[in-house]
Structure 1
Amino acid sequence: MKTICPVCMHHCQLAEGQVGRCRGRQNQGGKILPINSGVITALALDAIEKKPLRHFYPGRLILSVGSFGCNLHCPFCQNARIAMAGRRDVEAMILSPEELARRAEGMRHQGNIGLAFTYNEPLIGYEFVVEAARLVQDRGMKTVLVTNGSATPEITRQVLPHIDALNIDLKGFTQEVYENLGGTLEVVKAFITQAVDAGCHVELTTLVVPGLNDDPGEMEAMARWIAHLSPDIPLHVTRFFPAHLMWRDDPTPLSTVYGLAEVARGSLNDVYEGNMGL
């Protein structure tokens, strides 16, 4: 008997012991449970601008935590070492939500404002995110979610009450782009809309990959859609550098990023170019 995973658009049908496409959830006794809960592969005190967030506590630091696994398979993944990995592929420490919240609170004297779930796709282990975020908020600190937004509305409703700010990857604005990455554009659009409607602080990021999503018309359509939600939503238009399966490709030309950012400014008030270093 197979059980359907409720977390994302894949709705993986898993037999006993089988792991889903995300590599982070497994059928255990007829229940689909996260196997990456508390499995910490990365932990760092980062500038909030690295998430990237420009309009949420600028100039401050936030404890950033990652695990393993992702429900997309982007060939340009910047964190493929953990995002494309399974449990046996990573070195990790085990931290409970309570231990993580205590670490976040213990770094207040260093300027830490809270906890950011990032590096891999946090929502494949949404249960851990909810529990840790709740404990951090109980301590009067802030929570941040950096996500690809590929989660069902039901899961999203459980997560958003415990999140103060999000940076959501909007990989492109055609279903063809998302099919190349193993995702669904409408699912991500619905996730963004839910986050905005919930009153969370929302910023968006589009990594511009040559030949994938660098069409000005696509950027214009994307920016108009974002502006329909609010023209004040910040958009980060960032530059691709060779990584993962595209390690032999050239970086995105600077002129392409600047040009697409200018297109987006036709509809949005706050557009930022990112990863522009040589």
Structure 2
Amino acid sequence: MAKKVKKHPDEMSFLDHLEELRWHLIRATIAVVAIGIIAFIFKETLFAVIFGPKDADFISYEILCEISKFFGAEKGCIADGEMDFVIQSRKVAGQFSAAIWTSIMAGVVLGFPYILYEFWKFISPGLYENERKTSRGFIVIASILFFLGAGFGYFVVTPLSINFLATFKISDAIQNEFDIDNYIALVRASVLASGLIFELPIIMYFLTKIGLVTPEFLRRNRKYALVIVLILAAIITPPDISTQVIVAVPIILLYEVSIFISRGVLRREKRRLKKQGLA
């Protein structure tokens, strides 16, 4: 049987590209499922991590309490030293379903570097050689940013949200008994959303490379970006100033880093054009 020779990107048809993309997606899915199976096997450890923020002695609460006091508020503190809620499963297959989907979520989070690797293998053949060289650390940097964001979501956004929702009551006659699916959805949304938000510098890098964004554009629209960041912080955090500031500050810093990265990309592009005698 003749060995199949991989075509050059310029020689590939639209259907060839779709076929190539399909195999990258298949390999990424297999990796997610494989990691998910391992996570399911060690589900006790997995759920010990998931349920960590529901305990009053979780490492983040004392730190967040001190930060809240610094801003003149104590909403980040746990009043009675314990969480006034329970997590329940009201469906026959509720816990089994939670274990399955949480394991898959763990597969996506832990397998993110490999997902990026498959994405990079798909787009890199279409790049110039110098672009591939300058983007060589893409997977490592993007993975680090994602895990930093996921950690921020787990250790900051999730505890703030749980503490607020667990202590909020419209009447003492109503007890907080959260369904396991809703609790896990809150943790999942906080972790994944924060992880993706922290990819902002990477997104700005590629937008600058294709000419959609410039440092001047980012600086000129800084005030609008600040408003968007504050709105975003208000959406993903409880409605008090201290927690919104805690969440907004890292995002603002990422925006400033994005301006620096965008400026660096344009400088390298100008040097490249100058060497080629095109500028």
Structure showing greater relative contact order (alpha-carbon pairs closer than 8 Å, 6 or more residues apart): 2
In the superposition, the TM-score normalised over structure 2's length comes to: 0.25
Structure with the largest fraction of strand: 1
In the superposition, the TM-score normalised over structure 1's length comes to: 0.25
Rg (Cα) greater in structure: 2
